Structure 1
């Protein structure tokens, strides 16, 4: 498992990892500020009320949850000989709300809902501070994502000006009126849309009548980055007199190549 991000609660560093598009908070780290240490996790998960909560959470959020096996566990919970670990819980019920990982950055991790439940079991005060710090982390991530998205959107708009200038200088006949010119600009913009998104702005709008903005407003950071590059390339190829059909093929090949190169880059993953 990756190193993850850190939040600090009551002078304790707690790891938050992102896996399968879900945030998991380290229960192991949460125990460090308590005298009993990670043994508290075992006591918590054998508690009948805890198991009732976990069973309900999995039933709502996990279509693969083994509910018949959970009923067996729930029936046994509370008797003196009952033993349960997080690993056993996951194996027996196919639960996905918690993870057990080995290695340097390993430990027991839980979905934020479950982590907050564990934190309340540890201490109501601890739970309040954990929720606040986790919310602060997510707000910072969203702010950084929005800033980066806006940066690339601005870059795309700057390159769009370069692109339209090339169209004006090398494609537009001098006698066209404004409406006719706009048609040519839109046509060239759709060359880029086809190369990158595989559809025109009109086609996207017909497929997404309720969406806000346009096809480019809904683009990912990676797509916006590639779009800025495509606008520069197309502007140069327009100046070179390359016909539009040939430019479209070349732009599409470039878009595919660039996306393959940047998708999954750690630098971009940090912004997600």
Structure 2
């Protein structure tokens, strides 16, 4: 499981965020609660969780996102919610209902109570609608920055793919196209090699993709994600080498498919944006 940690800022308070598997973002309730009580934010969270409306809101969120939510235990909790004797903590909520929307993390740095962004924003609104707006403003700024970085990575890898395709087509011209071929035959050979890569990586030719996606603009490669573009760039270079080695098209298809599978499996567990943090990784 890949976890990425980030910070947003609201009215002088640093609020931690961590993302699991690049999808589910959890925001620190402990940091948000410091806006109300900097000395002991735990009590702010507990007071919020004592509220019957809060408990019911959390239950609805769990039912929408958590198939293992313990509804029976929740009913027991709800029957007590709102009473003077009712006490609820994040740990107790998690243990009793098998909740996933709120998590408790140990550690001096980065520890505390975190909640899914949906829940965290509701908590911030309960503390102060004004404070929630400041949080949302910087949260959106963070998302825009991430989208910009992703777009840049995508464009760089698209450009890299085009450079490698030039190398690849040069190899086709020098090794596969006899001088006596007609222009039509030459064009067909190029298309065949391009589709060889398309089939190896995407499982379909460019024409098949177009027929299957009549409403989309561009081509199958324009629709590719970041991982696919990076693998495609490597495949094009590898295919040029295989062509020079005299491998047949059927042999190359198998070798390229195996390469695509290995590299896609590897990239699933890698955060490509982390490349920029490596020595010499800045572009």
1:144 match: 149
- Alpha-carbon distance, 1:3 to partner: 6.3
- Alpha-carbon distance, 1:6 to partner: 0.6
1:89 match: 93
Q: What secondary structure, in the 3-state scheme, does the structure 2 residue paired with 1:29 have?
A: helix
- Alpha-carbon distance, 1:175 to partner: 4.1
2:241 match: 236
Query: 2:56 matched to 1:52?
Result: yes
2:29 match: 27
Could you tell me whether the CA contact under 8 Å between 1:3 and 1:105 is conserved in 2?
Answer: no
- Alpha-carbon distance, 1:90 to partner: 2.0
1:10 match: 11
Query: 2:73 matched to 1:69?
Result: yes
Give the CA RMSD over aligned residues. 2.5
Q: What secondary structure, in the 3-state scheme, does the structure 2 residue paired with 1:174 have?
A: coil
**Aligned to 2:191, which of 186, 195, 211?**
186
Q: Which moved more, 1:100-109 or 1:10-19?
A: 100-109
Distance in 1 between the 2:16 and 2:50 partners? 24
**Aligned to 2:231, which of 226, 233, 236?**
226
1:99 match: 103
Partner deviation per Cα, 1:177-212 (whole Å, 9 max, x = no partner): 444333211211122123333443344455555555
1:195 match: 200
- Alpha-carbon distance, 1:252 to partner: 2.7
TM-score by length of 2: 0.85
Q: What secondary structure, in the 3-state scheme, does the structure 1 residue paired with 2:34 have?
A: helix
TM-score by length of 1: 0.88
Q: What secondary structure, in the 3-state scheme, does the structure 2 residue paired with 1:38 have?
A: helix
Distance in 1 between the 2:251 and 2:128 partners? 66
- Alpha-carbon distance, 1:143 to partner: 0.8
Q: What secondary structure, in the 3-state scheme, does the structure 2 residue paired with 1:99 have?
A: strand
Q: What secondary structure, in the 3-state scheme, does the structure 2 residue paired with 1:33 have?
A: coil
Q: Which runs of 4+ in 1 moved over 6 A?
A: none
1:135 match: 140
Query: 2:253 matched to 1:248?
Result: yes
Partner deviation per Cα, 1:214-262 (whole Å, 9 max, x = no partner): 3323323222112111111212332343322222233233333433444
Unaligned runs of 5+ in 2: 277-283
**Aligned to 1:38, which of 38, 42, 61?**
42
Partner deviation per Cα, 1:146-170 (whole Å, 9 max, x = no partner): 1101110111012112212222232
- Alpha-carbon distance, 1:110 to partner: 0.9
Could you tell me whether the CA contact under 8 Å between 1:2 and 1:105 is conserved in 2?
Answer: no
Distance in 2 between the 1:75 and 1:229 partners? 60
Distance in 2 between the 1:51 and 1:237 partners? 62
1:121 match: 126
